[in-house]
RNA sequence: GUUCCCAUCGUCUAACGGUUAGGACAUCACCCUUUCACGGUGAGUAUAGGGGUUCGAAUCCCCUUGGGAACGCCA
């Protein structure tokens, strides 16, 4: 079997959205898992809508996900000379021809066809046929070039995901491959690029299925064997509606902002439409080794945020904290905390990861280690910062001031001893401490929390809480 | 309108003619528990409908219904 070469070919008109990311992932996994190559191609022939910001956003997203291209990225706008050459070749061979229809003429044609409830299509008025007279060439029209699609027979698309799909050539019209200004069009550039770059497998969204037979015909006219195709179904929103800018479509970088680890997002995405028995969690190596099209679903899938969170949580729990730390640091800053003004990130991650599904959650719940809490949670304070609790906290201040070594086991003993001395359950002691030190009644185990927070901060916050209670009454 | 695609628990899916239709997320209950969680145990929930083919159909075929895509000098 020859080398597998796949490509991801976005048009730079916006950020890298979640559907595109999945298509890119499938392409990446399929080739890299088979010792092949993966490349990125920017389809920017539409200069009106393409922007440099979008190109940057796509690169940023791909980089964050760790989907590396094996080659330097290709821009279609840099290949115009090559496209012109192939257009000329097709013109020479009679597989393409000039069409002098104006846009208005075309619009009118479409309108009439729709009025007759027909499928809008070019009627072939400039298509050369043996013995057929062509209209007189208008002087003021710059012609477009159309591909001369075969009139008879069928095209069989052997799709790796959807199976064989048969198209009748008579249903296909002659598409424009070069505009009046000479700029080539998408369906044509794709073919030339895929051909020149030796793409073996075209993996793309299934909104391209209907383009494929025409592309196959162009390959044939050029005397080339078309690549294999895999059309991936799209991703729907939680409500089953199509994801769009207006409706919940988010760029991958927004998932970073929501607290996802890139590997976790990838894992969720790979399982959306693909399965490997009952396995839910995959390392990158496992994805590469196991991904294939035999188990990719042809049906569209809904994006389920709850499950995505679950996958992310699984990653947070098992990933080396040193790897999580840089992302965690990024999120801490976002919640206004100074990561250098508190305990080691790795130590905090180890304590928090069991209880946080996202890094946003982790940053919010860990902020108190690095910054002063923003007052007390009202309910928690009312419940736990009572007059009785104040005396407990005072006792604790004394005990902790005298504590020789500041470590979790010692703190554990000190707190237990205090609870027993006061004849209170651990809850009666631990909860007021939490509120005093964290600002609310939620934290990692209290001994760990105080240990990580350090003696100085602990005592200061304990004293502040006592003062708060006294002031109140 | 035309062409094409799709259809198993609420969601992601397993099953490649023979299973009490399995797993995961979510939900609920119980256990564990100093908070929040983690974890453990258990429960309910699905083959869209109708026809065939077959000893036997979630699985193959047809129809219906319901979703979706495409039909640009956009990509």
What pLDDT shows up at residue A219?
97
pLDDT per residue over A4-48, tens digit each?
A: 999 999 999 888 999 999 999 999 999 999 999 999 999 998 888
| Residues A88/A178, Cβ–Cβ less than 8 Å | no
pTM of the shown model: 0.94
Distance of CA A256 to the CA centre of its chain: 9
Q: How many residues comprise chain A?
A: 473
Angle of helix A387-401 relative to helix A408-422, nearest 10 degrees? 140
Q: Which nucleotides of B are covered by protein (CB under 7 A)?
A: 1-8, 10-15, 22-26, 34-38, 67-75
* Both structure tokens of A363: 């940053």
Query: Residue A202: which residues within 8 A CB-CB, separation 6 or more?
Result: A6, A7, A194, A227, A228, A229, A230
In degrees, rounded to 5, the angle at the alpha carbon of residue A371 between the alpha carbons of residues A367 and A376 is 75
Element (H, E) at A434: helix A426-438
Q: By the 8 A CB rule, do A177 and A91 touch?
A: no
Q: Could you tell me if A255 and A265 are in contact, meaning their C-beta atoms sit under 8 angstroms apart? A: yes
Number of helical (H) and strand (E) elements in chain A, helices listed first: 19, 12
Query: How long is the CA A200 to C1' B24 vector, in angstroms?
Result: 34
DSSP A295: G
Report the alpha-carbon distance of residue A344 to residue A4 in Å, rounded.
Answer: 45
Phi (first) and psi of residue A128, to 5 degrees:
-70, 130
Percent helix, percent strand, percent coil in chain A, to nearest 5: 50, 10, 35
Evaluate whether A145 touches A187 at the Cβ level (below 8 Å).
no
Q: Is the C-beta atom of A335 closer than 7 angstroms to strand B?
A: no
Strands of A185-280, DSSP E:
201-205, 228-232, 235-236
What letter would DSSP give residue A376? -
Structure tokens given for A321: 């904290």
Strand B: which of residues 260-299 in chain A lie with Cβ below 7 A?
271-275, 277-278, 280, 295, 297-299
- The pLDDT assigned to A248 comes to 65
Which helix H or strand E contains A301, and what residues bound it?
Answer: strand A301-302
Read off φ and ψ for residue A235, nearest 5 degrees.
-100, 130
**A141 CB neighbours strand B below 7 A:** yes
B14 C1': nearest CA residue: A277
Q: Do residues A331 and A360 touch, judged by C-beta distance below 8 A? A: yes
**What are the catalytic residues of A?**
245
| pLDDT per residue as tens digits for the range A93-110 | 999 999 999 999 999 999
Helix (H, G, I), strand (E, B) or coil at A8: strand
Q: What span, in angstroms and rounded, lies between the C-alpha atoms of A238 and A301?
A: 9
Question: Are residues A134 and A128 in contact, defined by beta-carbon separation less than 8 angstroms?
Answer: yes
pLDDT score, position A260: 97
Residue A2's pLDDT is 74
Of A176, A193, A183, A188, residue with least CA distance to A215: A188
Answer for A350: CB within 7 Å of strand B. no
| A361 CA vs B17 C1’ separation (Å) | 49
In whole numbers, what is the pLDDT of chain A averaged over residues?
94
Q: What DSSP designation does A441 have?
A: S
- Nearest nucleotide from residue A380 CA, by C1' atom: B35
Q: Name the stretches of chain A with pLDDT < 70.
A: 1, 244-249, 473
Residues 392-431 of A with CB under 7 A from strand B: 412, 425-427, 430-431
Distances (CA, A) of A413 to A245, A292, A342, A410: 55, 55, 24, 5
CB of A202 closer than 8 Å to CB of A225: no
pLDDT at residue number A88 = 97
Q: Return the structure tokens found at A277.
A: 């028995």
ipTM above 0.85, yes or no: yes
């Amino acid at each position: 079997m020859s080398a597998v070469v796949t490509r991801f070919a976005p048009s730079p008109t916006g950020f890298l959205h979640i559907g595109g990311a999945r298509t890119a992932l499938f392409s990446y996994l399929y080739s890299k898992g088979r010792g092949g190559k993966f490349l990125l191609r920017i389809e920017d022939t539409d200069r009106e809508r393409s922007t440099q910001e979008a190109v940057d956003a796509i690169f940023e997203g791909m980089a964050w996900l760790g989907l590396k291209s094996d080659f330097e990225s290709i821009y279609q706008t840099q290949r115009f000379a090559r496209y012109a050459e192939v257009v000329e070749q097709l013109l020479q061979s009679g597989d393409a021809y000039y069409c002098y229809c104006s846009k208005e003429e075309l619009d009118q044609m479409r309108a009439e066809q729709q009025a007759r409830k027909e499928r809008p299509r070019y009627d072939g008025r400039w298509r050369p046929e043996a013995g057929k007279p062509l209209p007189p060439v208008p002087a003021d029209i710059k012609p477009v070039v159309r591909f001369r699609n075969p009139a008879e027979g069928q095209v069989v698309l052997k799709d790796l995901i959807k199976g064989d799909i048969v198209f009748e050539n008579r249903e296909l019209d002659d598409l424009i491959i070069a505009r009046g200004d000479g700029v080539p069009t998408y369906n044509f550039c794709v073919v030339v690029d895929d051909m020149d770059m030796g793409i073996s497998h075209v993996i793309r969204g299934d909104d391209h299925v209907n383009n494929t037979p025409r592309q196959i015909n162009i390959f044939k006219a050029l005397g080339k064997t078309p690549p294999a195709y895999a059309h991936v179904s799209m991703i729907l929103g939680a409500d089953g509606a199509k994801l769009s800018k207006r409706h919940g479509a988010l760029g991958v970088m927004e998932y970073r902002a929501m607290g996802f680890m890139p590997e976790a997002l990838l894992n969720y995405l790979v399982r959306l439409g693909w399965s490997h028995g009952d396995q839910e969690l995959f390392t990158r190596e496992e994805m590469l080794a196991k991904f294939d099209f035999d188990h990719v679903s042809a049906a569209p899938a809904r994006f389920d945020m709850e499950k995505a969170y679950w996958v992310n949580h699984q990653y947070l729990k098992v990933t080396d904290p040193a790897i999580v730390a840089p992302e965690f640091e990024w999120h801490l800053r976002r919640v206004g905390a100074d990561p250098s003004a508190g305990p080691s990130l790795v130590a905090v991650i180890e304590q928090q990861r069991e209880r946080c599904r996202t890094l946003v959650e982790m940053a919010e719940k860990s902020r108190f280690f690095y910054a002063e809490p923003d007052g007390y949670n009202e309910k928690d304070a009312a419940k736990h910062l009572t007059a009785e609790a104040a005396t407990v906290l005072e006792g604790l201040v004394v005990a902790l001031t005298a504590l020789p070594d500041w470590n979790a086991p010692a703190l554990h003993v000190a707190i237990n001893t205090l609870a027993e001395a006061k004849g209170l359950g651990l809850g009666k002691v631990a909860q007021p401490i939490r509120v005093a030190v964290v600002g609310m009644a939620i934290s990692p185990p209290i001994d760990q929390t105080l240990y990580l927070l350090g003696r100085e901060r602990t005592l200061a916050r304990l004293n502040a809480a006592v003062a708060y209670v006294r002031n109140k009454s």
